[in-house]
Chain A
Amino acid sequence: MNALQRHRRLTEIWASDPGFRGWFSTVNHTDLGRMFLATAFFFFIVGGILSMLIRAQLATPHSAFAGPEIYNQIFTMHGTIMMFLFAIPTFEGLAIYLLPKILGTRDLAFPRLTAYGFWCYVFGGTMLLVSMLLGIAPDGGWFMYPPLSGPLFSPGINTDFWLIGITFVEISAIAAAVELTVSILKYRAPGMSLDKMPIFAWYALVTALMILTGFPPLILGSVLLELERAFGLPFFQVDLGGDSLLWQHLFWLFGHPEVYIIFLPAAGVISTVLPVMCRTTLLGYGWIVAAAVALAFLSFGLWVHHMFTTGIPHMGLAFFSAASTLVAVPTGVQIFAWIGTMWKGRPELHLPMLHILGFFFTFVIGGLTGVMVAVVPFDWQAHDTAFITAHLHYVLFGGFVFPIFAGIYYWLPHFTGRKRFFRLGELAFGLIFAGFHVTFLAMHWVGLLGQRRRIPTYAPEDGWTTINLISSVGSFVLTIGIAVLLIDVILHVLTAVRGRRNPWNAGTLEWAMMTPAPAYNFASLPHVTSREPVAEDPELCVALARGQGYLGEPRHGWRETLTVDIASGTPDYHVIYPANTRLPILMSAVTGVFFLSLLLKFYWTIPVAMIGVAILAWRWVWGLGLKEDIPPQGIGRGQEVPHAASVARSPGWWGTTFLLTANATFFGSLLFGFAFLWTVAPGWPPPEWLAPSALELGIGLAGIVAAPIAARLARRSQAPLPFLAIAGAGILAIGAVCAALMLRTPDPTGHAYGATLLVLGGYGLFHAALAALMVAFLAARVRRGFVSPLRRAELPIVGLWIDYLATIALLILLAGHLPGLLS
Chain B
Amino acid sequence: MLGGAALIFALVMTLLVLPFLRRGRAGSDGSRVRIWIVGLGLVFPMVVLAALLAYGLVVGERLLPREADDVVRVGAEGRLSAWTFSYEDAPGRATEGVLHIPARRPVDVSITTADVIHSFWVPRLAGKLDAIPGYVNVLRIEADAPGTYEGVSAEFSGPGYDSFTFAVTAHDADGWEAFLRGETQ
B63 close to A148 (CB less than 8 A): no
Over the window 9-35 of chain B, the binary record of Cβ atoms lying under 8 Å from chain A Cβ atoms (1 yes, 0 no) is 100110110111001110101001101
Bound Cα distance from A343 to B13, whole angstroms: 13
Would A284 and B36 count as touching, CB distance under 8 A? yes
Q: Does A310 contact B (CB under 8 A)?
A: yes
CB neighbours of A369 from chain B (8 A): 5
Q: Which of A206-214, A377-385, A730-738 contacts B (4 or more CB under 8 A)?
A: A377-385
Q: Is the CB of A244 within 8 A of B132?
A: yes
Stretch at the interface among A120-128, A197-205, A360-368, A473-481: A360-368
Q: Is the CB of B52 within 8 A of A375?
A: yes
Residue A450 lies at the interface, judged by CB distance under 8 Å to chain B: yes
User: Count the A residues whose beta carbon is within 8 Å of the partner chain — how many?
Assistant: 82
Alpha-carbon separation in the docked complex, A374 to B49 (Å): 10
User: Across the interface, do A380 and B155 meet the contact criterion of CB distance under 8 Å?
Assistant: no
**A311-B132, A453-B156 known; A342+B57 contact, CB < 8 A:** no
- How far does the alpha carbon of A361 sit from the alpha carbon of B17 in the complex, in Å? 11
Closest beta carbon of chain A to B109's beta carbon, Å:
12
Residues of A within 8 A of B8 (CB): 364, 368
- Known contacts A309-B119, A333-B37: A458-B45 contact under CB 8 Å: no
> CA–CA, A325 to B51, complex, Å?
11
Give the docked Cα–Cα distance between A346 and B24 (Å). Answer: 6
Given contacts A329-B46, A344-B24, A452-B154, contact A381 B123 (CB under 8 A): yes
CA distance A615 to B1 in the complex (A): 61
B162 touches A325 (CB 8 A): no
Contact A153 B158 (CB under 8 A): yes
User: How does the 8 Å CB contact mask read for A335-350 relative to B, with 1 for contact and 0 for none?
Assistant: 1110110111111010
Binds B, one of A316-324, A662-670, A720-728, A739-747: A316-324
Cα A344 to Cα B64 in complex, Å, equals: 49
B136-185 interface (Cβ within 8 A of A): 137, 152, 154-162
* Minimum Cβ distance to chain B for residue A765 (Å): 31
Q: Which of B15, B25, B55, B128 contacts A380 (CB 8 A)?
A: B128
* Surface stretch bound by B, among A12-20, A90-98, A139-147: A139-147
CB of A141 within 8 A of CB of B156, answer yes
> What are the residues of chain A within 8 A of B18 when measuring CB–CB?
343
Q: Please, how many residues of chain B have a CB less than 8 angstroms from a CB on the other chain? A: 63
Give B75-91 interface residues, CB cut-off 8 Å to A.
80
Indicate whether A622 reaches chain B with its CB closer than 8 angstroms.
no
Q: Hey, which chain B residues are within 8 Å of A287, CB to CB?
A: 33, 37, 41
Residues in A with CB closer than 8 Å to B123 are 381, 450
Across the interface, do B49 and A328 meet the contact criterion of CB distance under 8 Å? Answer: yes
Question: Is A245 part of the binding interface, using a Cβ–Cβ cutoff of 8 Å?
Answer: yes
Q: Quick check: is B94 within 8 A (CB to CB) of the other chain? A: no
Chain A residues lying within 8 Å of B126, measured Cβ to Cβ, are 380
A148 engages B157 (CB within 8 Å): yes
8 Å CB contact of A332 from B40, B53, B135: B40
Q: Is the CB of B56 within 8 A of A375?
A: yes
Q: Are A339 and B12 in contact (CB under 8 A)?
A: yes
B58 to chain A, nearest CB (A): 10
- Min CB gap A473→B, angstroms: 22
* Contacting residues, chain B, for A268 (C-beta < 8 A): none
Complex Cα gap A238–B12 (Å): 49
A253 and B25 alpha carbons, distance in the complex (Å): 45
Q: A311-B137, A325-B49, A325-B52 are in contact. Are A244 and B13 (CB under 8 A)?
A: no
Cα distance, A665 to B1, chains bound together (Å): 39
Given the complex, which residues of B lie within 8 Å of A377, measured CB to CB? 56, 59-60, 63, 127
Taken together as a complex, chains A and B put the C-alpha atoms of A692 and B128 apart, in Å, by 46
Contact B159 A72 (CB under 8 A): yes
Which residue of the partner chain A has the closest CB to B13? A361
Q: Does residue A454 face the partner (Cβ distance < 8 Å to B)? A: yes
User: With A325-B52, A328-B45, A346-B23 in contact, is A309–B9 under 8 Å at CB?
Assistant: no
Complex CA distance for A682 and B132, rounded to whole angstroms: 11
Given contacts A339-B12, A340-B36, contact A310 B19 (CB under 8 A): no
Q: Is A357 an interface residue (CB 8 A)?
A: yes
Task: Please give me the residue from chain A that is nearest to B44 by CB atom.
Answer: A332
- Residues in A405-461 with C-beta less than 8 Å from chain B: 450, 452-458
- Of chain A, the residue at the smallest CB distance from B136 is A311
Q: Which residues of B contact A371 (CB under 8 A)?
A: 5, 49, 52
A325/B42 contact (C-beta < 8 A), A340-B35, A368-B8 known: no
Bound-state Cα–Cα, A321 to B45, Å: 15
Whether, in the assembled complex, A537 has its beta carbon less than 8 Å from a beta carbon of chain B, the answer is: no
Give the CA-CA distance A140 to B27 in the complex, in Å.
56
- B16: A residues at CB distance < 8 A: 339, 342, 357, 360
Minimal beta-carbon separation of A752 from chain B (angstroms): 12
Q: A328–B8 Cα gap in the complex (Å)?
A: 13
- Which of A238, A339, A372, A683 contacts B1 (CB under 8 A)? A372
The residue from B42, B57, B115, B135 contacting A147, defined by CB atoms under 8 A apart: B115
The CA-CA distance from A310 to B127 in the complex, in Å, is 12
Chain A 375-400, CB within 8 Å of chain B: the 1/0 string? 11111110111000000000000000
Q: In the assembled complex, how far is the CB of residue B69 from the closest CB belonging to chain A, in whole angstroms? A: 22
Instruction: Say yes or no: A375-B1 contact (C-beta < 8 A), given A72-B159, A153-B158, A332-B41.
Output: yes
Q: Does B116 contact A (CB under 8 A)?
A: yes
CB-based contact B158/A383 at 8 Å: no
Do A347 and B36 touch (CB < 8 A)? no
Q: B37, A454: Cβ atoms under 8 Å? A: no
Given A332-B42, A376-B56, A682-B135, are A147 and B117 also a contact pair (CB < 8 Å)? Answer: yes
Contact A344:B20 (CB < 8 A) given known A329-B45, A383-B154: no
For residue B53, which residues in chain A have a CB less than 8 angstroms away from its CB?
321-322, 325, 375
A243 proximal to B (CB < 8 A) = yes
Q: In the complex, A762 Cα to B154 Cα: how many Å?
A: 38
B residues whose Cβ falls under 8 Å from a Cβ of A: 1, 5, 8-9, 12-13, 15-16, 18-20, 23-25, 27, 29, 32-33, 35-37, 40-42, 44-46, 49, 52-53, 55-57, 59-60, 63-64, 80, 115-117, 119, 123, 126-130, 132-135, 137, 152, 154-162
Sorted from nearest, which 6 A-B pairs have the closest CB atoms? A380-B127, A340-B36, A238-B134, A311-B137, A333-B41, A375-B56
20 A-B Cβ contacts within 8 A? A145-B117, A239-B133, A278-B19, A280-B24, A291-B41, A309-B127, A309-B128, A310-B130, A339-B16, A339-B36, A340-B36, A344-B24, A347-B20, A360-B13, A375-B53, A376-B57, A377-B60, A383-B119, A385-B154, A454-B161
- Beyond the given A339-B40, A344-B24, could you list 7 further A-B residue pairs with CB under 8 A, ordered by the A residue number? A148-B157, A284-B37, A343-B24, A375-B1, A384-B156, A450-B123, A455-B162
